[in-house]
Amino acid sequence: MAGAGLRTATKWVALRALAEGGEPSTERLAAASGLSVRGIAARAAAEGWDARRPGPAADLDARIARLMDNLVRETAELEAPGDGRDKARIEGLTARMRLLEKLAEINEGRQARQEEQQKTDAEIAEILRRIDARIVELAHEFAAELAGDRDARAAGAAGGG
């Protein structure tokens, strides 16, 4: 019984590492799934899994599109004549499709927040520009006022003295 608890704990540790951006190594995938490292490596090689590491967040759209293209290709292969309907493969494709749809939704939300932030930043920059211009204007008025008082005192001293 303790062995089952340890296996479950190992799966959760591996899943958390993957969720938090950990390297999806064959070992970590095996720990998370409960499958063997050898089995995962063989399946990855047989199916031509793309082992490239994800790039920066800006590339997320391209990665989602590439993964969607892969799913479309795999779905077409599954529908090819003579190819038996593999229930596990269909379920895997369905799960991956749901995941990609969710990623696309998250990415759209992220992009909307970034656009809103850029708009807000531009509005703040415009407000600060106007405040700065007003400060400069007031400084010039104050300087002119001080210069005018000095000129008036100098004229009063010269004329009255």
The domain spans of the chain are 1-53
Query: Element (H or E) spanning 89, and its range?
Result: helix 87-160
Handedness of CA 32, 34, 38, 42 (dihedral sign): negative
Q: What confidence score (pLDDT) does residue 10 get? A: 76
Q: Are 55 and 49 in contact (CB under 8 A)?
A: no
Q: Are 71 and 96 in contact (CB under 8 A)?
A: yes
- What is the length of the chain? 161
Per-residue pLDDT of the chain (161 residues; tens, 9 = 90+): 456 666 777 777 777 777 766 677 788 888 888 888 898 888 888 888 876 555 555 577 777 888 888 888 888 887 776 656 677 888 888 888 888 888 888 888 888 888 888 889 889 999 999 999 999 999 999 999 988 877 767 776 666 55
